[in-house]
């Protein structure tokens, strides 16, 4: 039996300890359960082992697409070391150790490496959400991500494609989704456009529909707050006074009623409405974790991976 801080590795069962995996325990009652579990898993990793993929994305605080429940813990390590054969771990092995940083006592792959590993399994839209977040928060530069996408690694081509769609000006994951929808439908937009009237700042909009005086924005739950609603009404009046208008869209609009977004954009641009412009967006959406088909695709890919990752809940 080995005891390290608040983790026990060995065949023991005792009061006050929570089972994480076979022969692996952590102290019960931890405030941050995820971190406590990952600290336990770290004890069974070799020296080159680190947390990566969506596990690493969570630890870096990146915006996330809707993740399925009961995912394995994603790990990278060198091929020269013995892989821990635990069903809860999905292990990716490399010819040389990957670059890492420390986050709360956990050894995590760098953000660029995390995105490269995620590109093995995630779609264009999912990667754009992650990449926009990394760029917006200053956790990676475009050069970092370009260098990662230039490596001769599985996922590099997908990351390279996604790079051309990323924009660090996005301020939320749903803003990123809104922008990708517009671009996929051939609607020219500029993120975070400042509206000024007679030299005075009026508002900054999520997306400016180029060639118009119209802003398209994501309206999340925060806009239903009474104070936020009052602020939005004042902002709308200021925009109207400056000769501008805005349209707000919800997640349901983007995922389930995108034709309305396209129809209104076509009207703004003065072009004939064509439903077939939606086809690229619908294809991107179906591949992503924002859609049931994309969720099924992701689960299938994980089941087929070496090591037989378990999607079952961990034993108590």
Dihedrals phi, psi of 121, to nearest 5 degrees: -125, -25
Does any domain span residue 235?
yes
* 112 and 27 share one domain: no
* 36 and 99 share one domain: no
Q: In what order do the strands lie in the sheet with 73-78?
A: 89-94, 73-78, 50-51, 106-109, 100-103
The mean of the pLDDT values for the chain is: 90
Residue 29 in this model has a pLDDT that exceeds 90: no
Helix (H) or strand (E) holding 204: strand 200-209
* 12 and 109 share one domain: no
Does any domain span residue 297?
no
Does any domain span residue 160?
yes
Does any domain span residue 234?
yes
* 183 and 264 share one domain: yes
Asked if 291 and 285 count as a contact pair (C-beta separation under 8 A), the reply is yes
Mean pLDDT is lowest, of 77-91, 210-224, 244-258, for 210-224
Could you give the 3-state DSSP secondary structure of residue 229?
helix
What is the tally of helices (H) and strands (E) in the chain? Answer: 12, 13
CATH number (domain holding residue 236): 3.40.960.10
pLDDT, tens digit, 9 for 90 and up, residues 167-211: 999 999 999 999 999 999 999 999 999 999 999 999 999 999 999
Does any domain span residue 282?
no
Does any domain span residue 313?
no
* 212 and 228 share one domain: yes
* 57 and 101 share one domain: yes
* 49 and 26 share one domain: no
Residue 129 in this model has a pLDDT that exceeds 70: yes
Mean pLDDT is lowest, of 5-14, 205-214, 256-265, for 5-14
Domain range enclosing 6 = 1-41
Does any domain span residue 212?
yes
Q: How far apart are CA 154 and CA 158, in angstroms?
A: 9
Residue-level pLDDT at 135? 98
* 58 and 162 share one domain: yes
Segment 20-44 mean pLDDT: 89
Domain count, the chain: 3
Residue 311 in this model has a pLDDT that exceeds 80: no
Does any domain span residue 181?
yes
């Amino acid at each position: 039996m080995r005891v390290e801080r608040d983790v026990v590795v060995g065949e023991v069962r005792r009061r006050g300890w929570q089972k994480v995996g076979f022969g692996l325990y952590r102290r019960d009652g931890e405030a941050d359960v995820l971190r406590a579990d990952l600290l336990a898993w770290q004890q069974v990793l070799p020296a080159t082992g680190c947390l990566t993929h969506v596990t690493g994305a969570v630890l870096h605080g990146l915006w996330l697409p809707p993740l399925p429940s009961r995912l394995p813990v994603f790990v990278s390590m060198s091929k020269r070391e013995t892989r821990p054969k635990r069903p809860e771990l999905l292990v990716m092995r490399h010819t040389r150790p990957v670059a890492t940083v420390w986050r709360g006592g956990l050894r995590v792959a760098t953000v660029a490496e995390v995105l490269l590993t995620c590109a093995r399994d995630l779609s264009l839209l999912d990667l754009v959400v992650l990449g926009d977040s990394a760029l917006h928060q200053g956790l990676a530069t475009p050069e970092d991500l370009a260098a990662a996408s230039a490596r001769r690694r599985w996922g590099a081509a997908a990351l390279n494609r996604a790079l051309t769609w990323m924009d660090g000006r996005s301020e939320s994951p749903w803003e990123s989704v809104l922008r990708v929808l517009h671009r996929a439908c051939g609607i020219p937009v500029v993120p975070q456009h400042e509206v000024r009237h007679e030299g005075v700042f009026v508002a900054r909009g999520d997306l400016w529909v180029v060639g118009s005086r119209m802003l398209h924005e994501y309206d999340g739950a925060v806009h239903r707050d009474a104070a936020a609603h009052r602020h939005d009404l004042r902002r709308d009046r200021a925009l109207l006074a400056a000769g501008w208008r805005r349209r707000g869209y919800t997640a349901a609009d983007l995922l389930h009623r995108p034709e309305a977004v396209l129809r209104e954009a076509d009207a703004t641009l003065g072009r004939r409405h064509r439903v077939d412009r939606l086809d690229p967006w619908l294809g991107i959406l179906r591949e992503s974790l924002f859609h049931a088909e994309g969720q099924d695709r992701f689960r299938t890919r994980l089941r087929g991976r070496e090591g037989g990752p378990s999607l079952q809940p961990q034993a108590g």
